[in-house]
Structure formats: structure tokens, C-alpha cells
Amino acid sequence: MSNQEWNDAWGTLRFDNRFTRELPADRDESNSTRQVYQACYSRVMPKQVARPTLVAHSHEVAEQLGFVPDLVQSQQFADVFAGNALHPAMDPFAMCYGGHQFGNWAGQLGDGRAINLCEIVDRNGQHQTLQLKGAGPTPYSRFADGLAVLRSSVREFLCSEAMYHLGVPTTRALSLVLTGDSVTRDMFYDGNPKQEPGAIVCRVAPSFVRLGSFQIFASRDDESTLRQLAEFTIRNDFPHLGEPSPEVYAAFFAEVCQRTAELMIHWMRVGFVHGVMNTDNLSVLGLTIDYGPYGWLEDYDPGWTPNTTDAQGRRYRYGSQPQVAQWNLAQFAGALLPLVDHDIDSLQAGLQLYVDTFDDGWHTMMSAKLGLDKFRGDDDVQLFADLFDVLQMVETDMTLFYRRLADVPCETEPESVCERLADVYYQPEQIDDSVQNATTQWYQRYQQRVLQSGVSDAKRRERMNRINPLYVLRNYLAQLAIDRSDQGDHSGVTELLDVLRQPYQEQPGREKYAEKRPEWARHRAGCSMLSCSS
């Protein structure tokens, strides 16, 4: 295709590849697995695939980037976002970074199955990096093939958009493309590999720089590259902090801590469990990145993790996510020490900001989930803690609990709180006298708290339904969409995406998407535990 033909089709896009323009590149241009030194990235081309077919796309993301509808529906669009065709202005690369995995330093990791196509200035004037996940091997692939399969790609595509519409900071997803190739995967690493459809997701974010991007250079005593990356990041993503200096680097760290704390509050609010909170999977922008074996809490269980690899230690379980994030930030602080003249105290202030931001935000968030006027100190802390005890007495659907609680009156005495909440319990036969008494006692205290604040039932319900979603990407819903796609019917993906665009609004005719997990899904693969296989 000639440059003129590209311009005719893609002329509305504004390319600006500042990452590859301003940062040091890998001098070795071969696509061979190796250690990469003194470089932030390696240039690499996507693998050619057999038959690119667009399965789904986010029209909001496409519009934001400047893609017109006719172009999105064209074969050329599918070809580009499968890696088979490249616009002349694209400069594909894979990023170099390291990280702590499950608490242990893993050395160089990098984009092993992600290739950044280009950067675009969107219609809001913001830079966006377009990244293909599953587009083939890179120098960072280690022993893997750099590919991805349909099941994991559907989950990543849907969750990226679901999180955005929930109001959770996240990378976005532009497209989901089938490659036409088969990929061999052993889903649970149990010696039973099989052929699965290959697929590629185009992920979109202002930056994919993560904590591990800095750690790799600090671990190698490569202060020059570390400093170049830090200066680039501050200049482009944190320009309000001013020109780089030891003080500005400390302020940069503090802002990353604050954004991360706010992200953790959002995850806890909606019941999201990331599953792989390694330091290479935390963004410096405070975005949710790298959707691997994630999951949503069905029943309220702080000890639950969706990751089979983490099943024994449960390091990344739901209830530990805020503490893990703090630990990760402490490792990030160690990487930045050379930039602040080894002034540990200047970075300690950022870690304290994390704690203060999370604590304040948690109290505010929980007050809002319960429809209270504001947080009122120790009494409310005890009210929250007692609620969590009640939720764990019998298997209780977290998402539905808060929605149904909004409908239980405080201005009049309900006949039976447990009866009003009947459909939130997975095993209602377990509701004995002790559960009923504990639930009733908690509710009576909650009722008095609401009445003291002067909040009407109508106002409370409005507040609660504004922050407590009705529709989330339940694990079994994603699996049902995957099952249909495996059979060539991709309408389940687009239907589910459409529901998830309005997670707080009741959607008549779509009640089935707001039901608690069915019993058949309790232990089914893809509906409960997931592996890192992709």
C-alpha cells in the first residue's frame, strides 16, 4: 500500500512516537531471546498471522483515537491490529523492564508477548500508546512464543472496558482480533496441552511504564538509563511537577504512591482481584494493567485469589491487595534512591502518603457504599468491621448484597432482614438463628446510624446505587461468552460489553447478567480459578 493510500484511510490520526524517539534503544536489532542492557526498548516486528478477523471493538476508544467507523469495519483495520500490516508512521517495539514476582526478584522480564505499535495523540490532545498483546515473540519472551489465545483475550478485552465504565483507572481495549492460527496451551500446566484459537487484543494507555521499568536499571547499577527514563516520564506524564531534580523525583514517587492507593480503593470497592500483583504489573500512572488471571469476588471472601499459581500462598488474595501494593511501592522506592541522592526520608514521605491516602479513602468509600452522610470515626470503623464479619458467616454475594441493602428500609422496620436479602445468599439453608441474630443486630445499628444522619431511604438508595455496581464481569459470564466465541458466535462478547457499559443502571430485560454465580460454575475451569496460561 502506498503512503497516499495510507493517508487517505488513516489521515485523521496524529502519530507521535516519543518513546522510541527520546529513549535509548536496544543496539541489537535481532529478535532473539537475550538480556538487553542500557536500553528502554527493543524494536521488533509483529508475527504475521493467517486470517485476521475483527471479533469486537470499543467504539468509544476508536472514536477517542480518531478512527472513523468505516475504517474500523475494514479488513485493513483487522490486518493492522493483528500485526499483518503497519502504517508507515508506526515504530513497533517491546519494552524492557524487570520485577518482583510473588515477592522474589525475577530479573529482566519485559514485554514478552506485547508489542507497542505506535503512539497517537487522541482527540483530547493526550498521547496514547497502542499495544498488541499476543503478536508474537520478542527479545523478552524467554521460553514462550509471545502469542495469546481467544479465552484470555476475550477476558482482557472485556475487563479493560468493564473497569473503565465502573470508574476504575485502567488501560483500555480498542480491538479483539482472531488470528486464524492455532496456539498450543496447557491451561492448568497439568500435562494436557491442546490447540486453541489465537487472538490479539489492542491495549491502549497514555503509558505502559510500570514500577519494574525503573527496577531493572537500578538492579544493574545503570543510573544513566534509569535517569533518562525518569526524566522522560516526568516530562511527559507528570509535567506539573517541574524540571527533574531530587525534590521532583521524590514528589514523583509520592504521586505514584497516591495514585496507587486510590486504585486499590477502587479495586476493593468493586470486588476486583488482580491475581498477579508483581511489581512489573503496577503502572506508574495508577492504572490497572495486565489482565491475566483476575477475578471478581462472588461470595465475600477476603482470602480468595483467582490465580492457580497463587493458590497455596495466596499472596495476591483480595484482602491483601492494599498491603501488597505498599510492599511493591517500597521496592520502587529502592530503585529511585540514586535519583534522590539516597535520601531515604524523602521517599518515606511518599510511603506514608500511601497509607494516609488509602486509610482516608477507604473510610470515605465504605461510608458511600453504605449510603451514609459522611465518615464519623471509630463507631463507623466498628460498623464496617462487624459487617464484614456478618458477610463471612454464610456465603454472601458481595455485589448483590450492597444493591439489595439499598432497598431494605431504614425509615420503617423490615419484617426480616435476612428474608429481604434472601437472593444474595448462595446457601440459604445455612442461615440459622446465629446468622439471623447477627445480621439483625448489625442492621439495627446501621439503621440507627442512617436515621441519626437524617438521610432518607430514597436518598440513601440513590447514593448506594451510584457507587455499588449491579453488573460486573462475573467470571462465569466471561466464560459463557468465551464458550460461544469458541463455537464461532461472538455475539456474546458484544452483548456482554454492552451491558457492562452501564454497570450502575438497572437494564430491563438483562436481569440474567445481574444474577449470582450459578452452582454449576462453582468449580468449573474459567469460572473460579484461572492460570497465567494465555
- The per-residue pLDDT for 88 is 92
Q: For 275-285, what is the mean pLDDT?
A: 97
- The per-residue pLDDT for 533 is 61
Q: Say if CB 188 and CB 219 are below 8 A apart.
A: no
pLDDT in tens, 138-169: 999 998 999 999 999 999 999 999 999 999 99
Q: Cell digits for 332?
A: 520502587
- The per-residue pLDDT for 534 is 52
Neighbours of 518 (CB within 10 A): 12
Assess whether pLDDT exceeds 90 at residue 192: no
Q: Say if CB 225 and CB 38 are below 8 A apart.
A: yes
* Single pTM value for the model: 0.96
- The per-residue pLDDT for 1 is 61
Q: At what angle are helices 344-369 and 246-270 packed, to 10 degrees?
A: 20
Assess whether pLDDT exceeds 60 at residue 503: yes
Assess whether pLDDT exceeds 90 at residue 254: yes
pLDDT in tens, 311-352: 888 899 999 999 999 999 999 999 999 999 999 999 999 999
- Greatest mean pLDDT among 162-176, 182-196, 443-457: 162-176
pLDDT in tens, 218-246: 999 999 999 999 999 999 999 999 999 99
Q: For 360-366, what is the mean pLDDT?
A: 98
Assess whether pLDDT exceeds 70 at residue 188: no
Return d(Cα 132, Cα 116) in angstroms, integer.
6
Q: Cα 365 vs. chain centroid, distance in angstroms?
A: 19
DSSP 177: E
- Identify the three-state secondary structure at position 473: coil
Residue environment code for 92-129, b if the CB has 16+ CB neighbours within 10 A, otherwise e: bbbbbbbbbbeeeeeebbbbbbbbbbbbbbbeeeebbb
Return d(Cα 283, Cα 212) in angstroms, integer.
9
Q: For 368-397, what is the mean pLDDT?
A: 96
pLDDT in tens, 444-461: 999 999 999 999 999 999
Per-residue confidence at 250, pLDDT binned at 50, 70, 90?
Answer: very high
pLDDT in tens, 287-315: 999 998 999 999 999 999 998 888 888 89
- The per-residue pLDDT for 528 is 75
Q: For 74-99, what is the mean pLDDT?
A: 96
What is the per-residue DSSP string for 283-337? BTT--B---SS-EE-SB--TT---BGGGTTT-TT-GGGHHHHHHHHHHHHHHHHG
- The per-residue pLDDT for 480 is 96
Annotated active-site positions, please? 280
Assess whether pLDDT exceeds 90 at residue 207: yes
pLDDT averaged over every residue in the chain: 95
- The per-residue pLDDT for 260 is 98
Q: For 166-180, what is the mean pLDDT?
A: 98
- The per-residue pLDDT for 412 is 84
pLDDT in tens, 9-64: 787 899 999 999 999 999 999 999 999 999 999 999 999 999 999 999 999 999 99
- The per-residue pLDDT for 12 is 83
Q: Cell digits for 502?
A: 452501564
Q: Cell digits for 314?
A: 495466596
